[in-house]
């Protein structure tokens, strides 16, 4: 019951959060010096008052700021994010097209980061100050500090261009048709429709961008897992467990990792949110048709309805991920449930 | 033992992923053998619509040019427009009424014949949508259907570039029945009521050699051959234009043979392809030109509004080094009428144009004989991949030699610079320009009193005779006479204008050496129907 009330409260906060984000982004968008009229109309068109007037009329730019705001918020309540000036399509439709690509890449990135990060963190903690610990710490520092645009080019050069082990850019090879659209995530849709060729090709295309994107979070998870485990392993109850003759594996699995997992879970959650909202560079290099690319092109084109739409989507991502992480805390550590 | 197990698990995980990767490539390859290989082009796209009534972006004509037909077209290498849907035409003595006879064998993909009604619908729609495309039909007063195969177009003023303008995407002829069925409107309410754009962005309603099969923004575009095309069928059954915004990714993909044409490579990258077998490099000069603008109003241009300062800067810029910076194939035109247009002159010798002694002499005659410091505003645009900020740094180092110290102020185009530039409040900058249509008349916008000239504060009263050349050239329908007038403009503005054209940019295309007919086109960027294996 407590968890249900907690969830309902958080969802109510989410509505307030979205209202705040929409309001802030709307007014900030209107305050920036750029003008959509200049951004979209050619010099020749700008010299024609009829064309300028028609453009303003079409996009409601003749209305006062408050009327524009009220119109926007009224539509938002109806889940209508407006129409993208750049593409002429509803923003909801554009986000529906690009979000599954981003979600799929973010999921595999966080999967890679979590598996490798936790593994490295455990090995590093159990082999503290050993040669292997030094190596894994070096890998984690590299993962955190390597610039993604450079790393992306390097992995493409080595594994795609030189060795030919991985396919190049995009979500699928040009000769492979996308699976029937269900979720927009090719691996999932391929599995659901039995299109194994698409599944394999999509997975192959995910490897390099997922590694590039996940390397930063992997480094963080490695470091967090290591430090959290080291703290836990030095606890009195672990010493007691050792004194009772439990094996290292038993101590790690049954006693240590569960208690060390909360900070790791937090890092995974924050990392996943960051991946969903911050993959512009990697999407550009890998020509990944996701939200990052859509946001980048929208910002360049001063496509304000699209910019606000992307901002709201990112806010929802963070809020939902945080909620899920908070609920998982309770699953991992019963004390969190009690304190709610 | 346990450690080994853990290690083994890791190795197996990596190997299984690698095997998925390898299989993912291998299995479809056998399917591919049975397919007719498509032509795959990678570009950093700027387009978002293929509705001829709205499209204006640089690369949209690459698609619209093969999906739709126009009354006239620019075939590869042609100096003048050639008839496409028009079989013949006549012009009234006053140059105001053009009457076109349409060819009778042309048909749309739907099977409908191309008629005068379709021409009227398409042009009326383009005018009434009041979009970027409408601006190119500015002078059209009315379109009248004479009979099924005859249409007349009346202009408000004689326009010597009208036939050239009809080759642009704004004048594409659409299948009126299909467009109306999908919400197309051509009357005066079109700007508010037309709803055909979404349909035309994903499918096409033209009579060209290809049809648009699918388009996903930020991903790819697929065109298939129109097997019922009335003209010669193009070689490729399918063309895929893959969005590849990163030029390094384009380089790797063309080296790997995954794409047939890489369209956005820099001159530095091309050197990496020199030793690669199976890749040809096509270098062409474009009509994109870069220029320095010095505002003539002292309140805005400050020191650079002084005509002697303008001349000093003209002589101080090192054009030869700018050519090297931009890349092989760069040329320097004498004025804002690019080399290649009728009436233009040969490119200038960049070395002889730079003369520091003359520059210092001119500066000594100005109100600032000892030099000065000034802000140089530059935005984040990058014509043909070369950032304007890089050009600004070069200009800064050149002008230091004559004691003009410039402070580079970096701005973003969308973040205010664009507005300031168009509102004529930028005093000293470097910018670029590409023609709106394939005719030198489009360059007359740089004359005093015209909209680009006015951005530099160059009002008509500052040079009334030169300003009057605009109307004279636009109205002159005899091309030989017009050529003479344009030559006069080049001569007069070569050394005396608030614009210094520092370069006409090159374009590099890397293509599979199996391909023929890959050629840069000023109008279409690439004429896809001309490419074959």
Q: Which of A227-241, B189-203, B388-402 has the lowest mean pLDDT?
A: A227-241
pLDDT at B120: 98
Q: Is A44 on the interface with B (CB under 8 A)?
A: yes
Task: Tell me B433's DSSP state.
Answer: E
Q: Each residue of B291-341: pLDDT tens digit?
A: 999 999 999 999 999 999 999 999 999 999 999 999 988 999 999 999 999
Q: Cβ A119–B10 below 8 Å, yes or no?
A: yes
Are residues B185 and B126 in contact, defined by beta-carbon separation less than 8 angstroms? no
What pLDDT does B1 receive?
43
| The pLDDT of residue A26 | 87
**Mean predicted confidence (pLDDT) in B390-408:** 96
- CA-nearest of B384, B418, B327, B322 to B522 is B384
CA distances from A315 to A16, A18, A92, A320, B153 (A): 11, 7, 15, 9, 54
Q: Of residues B23 and B9, which shows the higher confidence score?
A: B9
Contacts of A78 (CB under 8 A, 6+ apart): none
Per-residue pLDDT, B26: 41
Contact between chains at A168 and B40 (C-beta distance less than 8 A): no
Residue B203 burial (CB count, 10 A): 17
More confident residue, B74 or B357: B357
pLDDT at B20: 45
The nearest alpha carbon in chain B to A206 belongs to B21
DSSP string for residues in B192-229:
HH---HHHHHHS----SSEEEEEEETTTEEEEEE-TT-
Whether the per-residue pLDDT at B345 is higher than 60: the answer is yes
Interface A–B counts its CB contacts (< 8 A) at 190
**pLDDT-derived band of residue B400, with 50, 70 and 90 as boundaries?**
very high
In angstroms, the CA A169 to CA A156 distance is 9
Contacts of B38 in chain A (CB under 8 A): 174
> If you average pLDDT over every residue of chain B, what do you get?
90
Tokens 């010493």 belong to A239
Tell me if B216 and A164 make a contact (CB, 8 A cut-off).
Answer: no
B213-233: average pLDDT? 92
User: pLDDT-based confidence at B24, cuts 50/70/90?
Assistant: very low
The Cα of B134 is separated from the nearest Cα of chain A by a number of Å equal to 8
B32, B38, B218, B379, best to mutate vs chain A, most A CBs in 10 Å: B218
C-alpha radius of gyration, chain A, whole number: 24
Q: What's the confidence (pLDDT) of residue B418?
A: 83
pLDDT of residue B83: 95
Residue B150 has pLDDT above 80, yes or no: yes
Report chain B residues whose CB lies below 8 A from the CB of A207: 17, 21
Surface of B (11-50) touching A: CB under 8 A: 13, 17-18, 20-25, 27-29, 31-32, 35, 38, 40, 48-49
Q: Determine contact: A109 vs chain B, CB below 8 A.
A: no
User: Which of B533, B532, B529 lies closest to B69 in space, CA to CA?
Assistant: B529
Structural domains of chain B ordered from first start: 17-247+513-530 (3.40.190.10), 288-506 (3.10.105.10)
pLDDT the model gives residue A1? 64
Tell me which residue of B498, B508, B266, B296 sits closest to B390, measured CA to CA: B266
Q: Which residues of B touch A88 (CB under 8 A)?
A: 48-49, 54, 197-198, 201
pLDDT of A260 = 80
Measure the CA dihedral B392/B521/B340/B418, to 10°. Answer: -30
- Residues 130-189 of chain A with CB under 8 A from chain B are 153, 156-157, 160-161, 164-171, 173-176
What is the predicted pLDDT for the residue at A256? 80
- Bridge partner residues of B376 (DSSP): B408
**Sign (positive or negative) of CA dihedral B276, B279, B280, B283:** negative
pLDDT tens-digit readout, A154-212: 999 999 988 989 998 889 987 788 899 999 999 999 999 999 999 999 999 999 999 99
The rounded distance, in Å, linking the Cα atoms of A51 and A57 is 10
- What is the predicted pLDDT for the residue at A340? 56
Q: Is residue A88 within 8 angstroms of chain B, CB to CB?
A: yes
Q: Mark the ranges of chain A whose per-residue pLDDT is less than 70.
A: 1, 34, 278, 334-340
Give me the residue from B35, B255, B412 closest to A175, CB to CB. Answer: B35
Q: H-helix or E-strand containing A306?
A: helix A304-332
B8, B414, B436: best mutation site toward chain A, by most A Cβ within 10 Å? B414
Give the residue-averaged pLDDT of B458-473: 96
CB contact B256 to A (< 8 Å): yes
- Dihedral class, residue B38 (left if φ above 0, else alpha if ψ from -120 to 50, else beta): beta
Q: Which two tokens stand for residue B457?
A: 């504060």
Which of A18-22, A73-77, B363-367, B412-416 shows the lowest mean pLDDT across its residues?
Answer: B412-416
Residue of B nearest to A90 (CA): B198
Q: What is the mean pLDDT of residues B53-59?
A: 90
Average confidence (pLDDT) over B403-416: 89
User: Whole-structure pTM over 0.95, yes or no?
Assistant: no
Helix (H, G, I), strand (E, B) or coil at A163: coil
- The predicted pLDDT at position B34 comes to 40
Indicate whether B14 pLDDT > 60.
no
Name the helix (H) or strand (E) containing B320.
helix B319-326
pLDDT score at A339: 56
Of B40, B198, B418, the CB nearest to A38: B418
- Give contacts of B18 with chain A, Cβ < 8 Å: 165
Q: Do B395 and B430 touch, CB atoms closer than 8 A?
A: yes
Q: Note whether A48 contacts B: Cβ–Cβ < 8 A.
A: yes
Chain B environment of A34 (Cβ under 8 Å): 412, 414-416, 418-419
User: CB–CB of A87 and B48 under 8 A?
Assistant: yes
From chain A residues 206-225, the ones with a CB under 8 A of any chain B CB are: 207
First-last CA distance in chain A: 11
Calculate how close chain A gets to B249, using CA atoms only, in Å: 6
Backbone angles phi, psi at B153, to 5 degrees: -125, 125
């Amino acid at each position: 019951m407590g968890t249900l009330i907690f969830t309902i409260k958080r969802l109510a906060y989410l509505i307030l959060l979205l209202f705040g984000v929409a309001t802030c982004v709307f007014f900030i968008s209107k305050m920036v010096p750029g003008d959509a009229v200049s951004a979209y109309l050619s010099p020749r068109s700008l010299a024609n008052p009829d064309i300028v007037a028609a453009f303003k009329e079409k996009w409601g730019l003749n209305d006062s700021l408050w009327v524009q705001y009220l119109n926007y918020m009224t539509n938002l309540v109806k889940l209508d994010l407006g129409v993208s000036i750049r593409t002429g399509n509803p923003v909801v439709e554009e986000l529906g097209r690009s979000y599954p690509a981003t979600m799929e890449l973010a999921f595999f990135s966080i999967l890679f980061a979590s598996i490798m990060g936790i593994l490295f963190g455990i090995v590093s903690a159990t082999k503290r100050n050993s040669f292997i610990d030094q190596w894994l710490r070096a890998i984690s520092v590299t993962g955190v500090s390597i610039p993604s645009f450079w790393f992306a080019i390097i992995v493409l050069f080595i594994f795609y261009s030189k060795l030919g082990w991985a396919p190049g850019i995009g979500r699928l090879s040009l000769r492979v048709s996308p699976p029937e659209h269900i979720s927009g995530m090719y691996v999932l849709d391929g599995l659901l429709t039995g299109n194994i060729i698409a599944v394999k090709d999509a997975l192959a295309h995910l490897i390099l961008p997922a590694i590039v994107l996940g390397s930063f979070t992997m480094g963080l998870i490695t470091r967090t897992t290591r430090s959290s485990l080291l703290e836990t392993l030095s606890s009195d109850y672990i010493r007691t467990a050792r004194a009772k003759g439990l094996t290292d594996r038993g101590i790690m699995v049954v006693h240590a990792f569960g208690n060390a997992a909360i900070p790791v879970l937090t890092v995974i959650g924050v990392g996943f949110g960051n991946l969903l909202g911050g993959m512009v560079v990697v999407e550009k290099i890998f020509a990944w048709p996701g939200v990052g690319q859509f946001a980048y092109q929208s910002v360049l084109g001063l496509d304000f309805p699209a910019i606000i739409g992307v901002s709201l989507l990112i806010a929802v991502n963070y809020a939902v991920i945080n909620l899920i992480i908070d609920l998982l805390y309770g699953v991992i550590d019963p004390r969190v449930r009690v304190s709610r | 033992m346990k450690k080994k197990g853990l290690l083994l698990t890791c190795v197996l995980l990596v190997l299984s992923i690698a095997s998925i990767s390898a299989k993912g490539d291998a299995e479809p390859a056998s399917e591919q053998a049975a397919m007719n290989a498509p032509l795959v082009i990678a570009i950093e796209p700027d387009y978002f619509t293929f509705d001829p009534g709205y499209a204006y972006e640089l690369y949209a004509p690459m698609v619209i040019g093969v999906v739709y037909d126009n009354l006239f077209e620019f075939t590869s290498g042609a100096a003048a427009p050639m008839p496409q849907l028009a079989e013949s035409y006549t012009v009234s003595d006053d140059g105001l009424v053009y009457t076109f006879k349409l060819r009778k064998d042309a048909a749309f993909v739907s099977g409908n014949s191309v008629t005068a009604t379709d021409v009227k619908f398409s042009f009326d729609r383009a005018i009434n949508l009041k979009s970027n495309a409408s601006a190119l039909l500015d002078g059209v007063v009315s379109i009248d259907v004479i009979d099924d195969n005859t249409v007349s177009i009346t202009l408000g003023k004689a326009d010597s570039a009208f036939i050239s303008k009809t080759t642009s995407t704004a004048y594409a002829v659409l299948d009126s029945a299909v467009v109306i069925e999908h919400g197309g409107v051509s009357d005066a309410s079109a700007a508010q009521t037309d709803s055909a754009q979404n349909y035309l962005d994903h499918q096409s309603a033209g009579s060209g050699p290809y049809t648009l099969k699918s388009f996903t923004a930020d991903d790819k575009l697929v065109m298939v051959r129109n097997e019922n095309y009335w003209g010669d069928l193009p070689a490729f059954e399918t063309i895929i234009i893959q969005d590849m915004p990163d030029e390094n990714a384009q380089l790797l993909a063309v080296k790997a043979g995954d794409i047939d044409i890489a369209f956005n490579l820099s001159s530095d990258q091309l050197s990496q392809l020199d030793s690669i077998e199976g890749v040809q490099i096509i270098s062409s000069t474009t009509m994109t030109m870069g220029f320095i603008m010095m505002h003539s109003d002292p309140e805005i241009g400050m020191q650079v509004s002084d005509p002697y300062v303008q001349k000093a800067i003209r002589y101080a810029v090192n054009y030869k080094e700018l050519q090297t910076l931009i890349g092989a194939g760069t040329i320097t035109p004498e004025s804002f009428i690019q080399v290649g247009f009728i009436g233009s002159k040969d490119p200038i010798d960049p070395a002889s144009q730079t003369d520091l002694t003359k520059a210092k002499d001119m500066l000594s005659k100005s109100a600032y004989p000892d030099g000065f410091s000034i802000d140089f505003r530059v935005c984040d645009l990058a014509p043909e991949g070369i950032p304007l900020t890089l050009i600004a740094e070069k200009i800064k180092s050149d002008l230091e030699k004559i004691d003009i110290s410039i402070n580079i102020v970096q701005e973003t185009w969308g973040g205010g610079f664009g507005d300031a530039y168009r509102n004529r409040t930028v005093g000293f900058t470097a910018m670029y320009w590409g023609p709106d249509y394939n005719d030198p008349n489009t360059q007359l916008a740089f004359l005093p009193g015209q909209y680009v000239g006015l951005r530099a504060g160059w009002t008509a009263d500052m040079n009334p005779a030169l300003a009057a050349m605009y109307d004279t050239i636009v109205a002159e329908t005899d091309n030989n006479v017009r050529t003479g007038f344009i030559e006069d403009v080049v001569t007069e503005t070569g050394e005396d204008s608030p614009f210094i054209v520092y370069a006409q940019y090159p374009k590099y295309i890397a293509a599979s050496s199996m391909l023929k007919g890959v050629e840069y086109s000023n109008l279409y960027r690439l004429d896809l129907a001309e490419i074959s294996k």
